[in-house]
Amino acid sequence: MTPKMHNDKPLVRAVLEGQALAWTRFKDRIEDGLWTMVGLLTSNQMDARAVFNKVIDGLCAENYSRLRHYDGSCRVEAYVALVARDLLAPDLLRLFRSGCGEEAWVAFEYFFAKDMRRIIFRRLSGPDYGEARRDAYQEICLALVADNFRRLTAYQEIGSFGGYVLHVVDRLLIDFIRKPTGQNLSGSTRTQLLSEEWENIPSPDLSPEAALLAREREGVLSSAGEVLRQAVGRLSPNEQLYLQVTLASEQPMPAREMARRICRPVSEVYKLKQRVLAHLHRLMDHHPSVKMWRACA
């Protein structure tokens, strides 16, 4: 089924084209929702106004570039809320890191609870999983709160904060489904649920966070791939040849066969292997993009 489309695309198009009064109409639509989000992160009117203006500036930046991804599959208020929560991520994280965990968690749940429940429902859909969905939500929340919100404050500004949170929630949900006890899920049910990528399940209403998550995964993979390309580019010609032959082989290649193919002594093959592995580990193991890709894989 095709996603339900809304009537807000002409308004956004008018904003992007700079039509007279379009931004005023757009701002009137989104103001109430933005003030609610800002109010959860600030304690006085002066701070609230400053943070609100920061979000507005972010929406206007680079000729409204953040609005260019809007495709009409959700109301414009919902789309702006996704953009705004990423613009507000530094303020939310500052609350978490400054010891204001209770206030920060209230804001976090307001920002993400609906998306978290939607992710859970897509993996645990149907009337038989009502209790499991409630248990999953509670367990995911406990995991996010654990160790002074360690999983949330670990965000390293690779990709959007919203995409990062959705990845973490989905991985925690998979861990919940894999648990052998407490979820009232049979082994065959777990296998079926884990084999389904929730963002690919057909839906009459494609949720905006599904599109966001898909874009984030693509971006994270691209960033990790670029790190790998740069790491390979720093290898010597002999090391690059060794890596190329290794990756092209479907099975582990004996050292003598490798030596024959790259026209080097067998003794040098072992040294090449050690140097290539050490080089790639050194450059990639602790790179933020690679760590993010591993977390999302």
CATH number at residue 56: 1.10.1740
Kindly compute the dihedral angle of the four CA atoms of residues 9, 13, 15, 20, in this order, to the nearest 10 degrees.
Answer: -110
User: pLDDT by residue for the chain (297 residues), tens digit each?
Assistant: 444 556 899 999 999 999 989 999 999 999 999 999 999 999 888 999 999 999 999 999 999 999 998 988 889 999 999 999 999 999 999 999 998 889 999 999 999 999 999 999 988 988 888 899 999 999 999 999 999 999 999 988 777 888 889 989 999 999 998 876 545 565 545 555 554 443 433 333 434 555 555 555 555 555 555 666 777 777 788 877 877 787 777 677 788 888 888 888 888 888 888 887 777 676 666 555 555 544 444
Query: 230 and 189 share a domain?
Result: no
Q: Where is the domain boundary, 70, 87, 104?
A: 87
User: DSSP H helical segments within the chain, as ranges?
Assistant: 9-16, 22-39, 45-64, 76-87, 89-97, 101-123, 130-153, 161-178, 187-195, 208-233, 237-248, 255-262, 266-284, 288-296
In a domain, 117, yes or no: yes
Query: 192 and 281 share a domain?
Result: no
Query: 132 and 194 share a domain?
Result: yes
pLDDT of 296 reads 47
In a domain, 61, yes or no: yes
Query: 101 and 190 share a domain?
Result: yes
d(CA 8, CA 79): 11
In a domain, 58, yes or no: yes
DSSP code for 185: -
Query: 111 and 169 share a domain?
Result: yes
Model-wide pTM > 0.75: no
In a domain, 212, yes or no: no
**If you compute the radius of gyration of the chain from its CA atoms, what whole number of angstroms results?**
24
Where do we find the tokens 């409204």? 64
In a domain, 210, yes or no: no
Q: Which residues touch 207 (CB under 8 Å, ≥6 apart)?
A: 74, 115, 118
Domain count along the chain: 3
In a domain, 119, yes or no: yes
Query: 172 and 106 share a domain?
Result: yes
Question: Domain residues for 17?
Answer: 1-87
Query: 68 and 134 share a domain?
Result: no
What is the CA 24 to chain-centroid distance, rounded? 32
pLDDT of 213 reads 52
Instruction: Sort 169 into a burial class: Cβ within 10 Å, 0-12 / 13-18 / 19+.
Output: buried
In a domain, 32, yes or no: yes
